[in-house]
């Protein structure tokens, strides 16, 4: 069974066709990259797959399940890790408080120590989120996505705006997640990142009708 299967995905906003008939299959254990310029519909596509946006039409299956209200979707959510393109974390919470808060949303989760070790933020555990660098904040956002021990990780431009070293640190986080058997769907603008991390990619362009 593939981790993600979608067919004929369409989403329109007024006269903008944000997603124009996307078909894709992501196999279990692979890293799949969605490429495309600004406005190509990457975030819209990934948010539909995450069950956060309703498509106008099309069929979505994630880990063999469909998004619908009720306990099934709740159970599916427990198995996913999601990093949004713009994660707003509380500036006045510490790193460890933030991870603990996200962990509390799930029935089973990594300990704070485990997850901070995964993203190499142990030394910052008592720092306020508002005092972290951009790269550290981004790794914290990925930590929050990893805290539930997900099978499938969604990353929307995880390394945009990061310096080369921070980018490589995040690549290592993603590689370790995959080495442990995880599946990843990510969006990126960087060809180098897609080449380094992804088994397969798909690209789309902006469409206006
Ligand atoms: N909530 C919304 N309301 C109206 N239009 C929207 C909405 N969300 C997205 N769009 C439009 O849909 C198109 C696709 O946007 P989307 O954010 O999916 O692109 P993207 O590929 O993620 O771009 P970027 O690389 O800049 O993140 C854009 O033209 C955008 O303006
Ligand atoms: Mg986007």
Ligand 1: which of 14, 18, 46 to mutate, most ligand atoms within 8 Å of CB?
18
> Closest residue (by CA) to atom 8 of ligand 1?
44
pLDDT (0 to 100) of residue 205: 58
Residues having CB closer than 6 A to ligand 1 are 13, 16, 18, 36, 38-44, 85
The proportion of the chain whose per-residue pLDDT surpasses 70, expressed as a percent, equals 98
* Rg (the chain; Cα; Å): 17
Task: Give distance in angstroms: CA of 150 to centre of ligand 2.
Answer: 22
| DSSP state string for 41-65 | SHHHHHHHHTTSS--SEEEEEETTB
Distance 41 CA to ligand 1 centre (A): 6
pLDDT at 117 over 70: yes
d(CA 164, CA 171): 10
Residue 203's pLDDT is: 82
pTM for the model: 0.94
Q: Name the pairing type of β-strands 207-208 and 16-26.
A: antiparallel
Q: Which CATH superfamily is domain 4-208 in?
A: P-loop containing nucleotide triphosphate hydrolases (3.40.50.300)
The average pLDDT across 175-198 equals 95
Question: Quick one: which ligand is closest to 189's CA?
Answer: 1
Output the CA 209–ligand 1 centroid distance in Å: 15
Q: Is the pLDDT of residue 209 over 70?
A: no
Per-residue pLDDT, 208? 45
> How confident is residue 71, by pLDDT bands cut at 50, 70 and 90?
confident
Mutate to test the pocket of ligand 1, among 36, 39, 42 (most ligand atoms within 8 A of CB): 39
Predicted local distance difference test score (pLDDT) of residue 110: 92
Q: Which ligand is nearest to the CA of 34?
A: 1
5 vs 70, higher pLDDT: 5
pLDDT digits (tens, 9 = 90+) for 136-160: 999 999 999 999 999 999 999 999 8
Summarize the confidence of residues 172-185 as an average pLDDT.
96
* Phi, psi of 47, rounded to the nearest 5 degrees: -70, -30
**Is it the case that residue 101 has pLDDT exceeding 50?**
yes
pLDDT in tens, 22-61: 999 999 999 999 999 999 999 999 999 999 999 999 999 9
Tell me the pLDDT of the chain averaged across its residues.
Answer: 93
The runs of H, that is alpha helices, within 111-198 are 112-118, 134-146, 164-179, 191-197
Q: What would the two tokens of residue 34 be?
A: 């969605």
Torsion angle of alpha carbons 57, 76, 200, 33, nearest 10°?
80
Ligand 2 geometric centre to CA of 123 (Å): 31
90: pLDDT strictly greater than 70: yes
Q: Average pLDDT in the 96-101 region?
A: 97
């Amino acid at each position: 069974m593939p981790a993600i299967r979608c067919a004929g995905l369409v989403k329109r906003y007024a006269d903008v066709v944000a997603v124009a008939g996307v078909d894709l299959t992501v196999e279990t254990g692979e890293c799949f990259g969605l490429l495309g310029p600004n406005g190509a519909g990457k975030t819209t596509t990934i948010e539909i797959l995450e069950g956060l946006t309703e498509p106008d039409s099309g069929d979505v299956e994630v880990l063999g399940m469909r998004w619908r209200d009720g306990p099934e979707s709740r159970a599916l959510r427990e198995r996913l890790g999601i990093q949004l393109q713009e994660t707003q974390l509380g500036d006045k919470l510490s790193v460890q408080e933030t991870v603990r808060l996200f962990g509390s949303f799930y029935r089973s989760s990594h300990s704070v120590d485990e997850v901070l070790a995964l993203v190499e933020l142990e030394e910052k555990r008592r720092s306020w989120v508002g005092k972290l660098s951009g790269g550290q904040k981004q790794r914290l956002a990925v930590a929050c996505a990893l805290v539930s021990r997900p099978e499938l990780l969604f990353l929307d431009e995880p390394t945009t705006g990061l310096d080369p070293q921070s980018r490589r640190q995040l690549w290592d986080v993603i590689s370790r997640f995959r080495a442990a058997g995880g599946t990843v769907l990510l969006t990126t603008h960087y060809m180098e990142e897609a080449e380094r991390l992804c088994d397969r990619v798909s690209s789309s362009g902006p469409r206006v009708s």
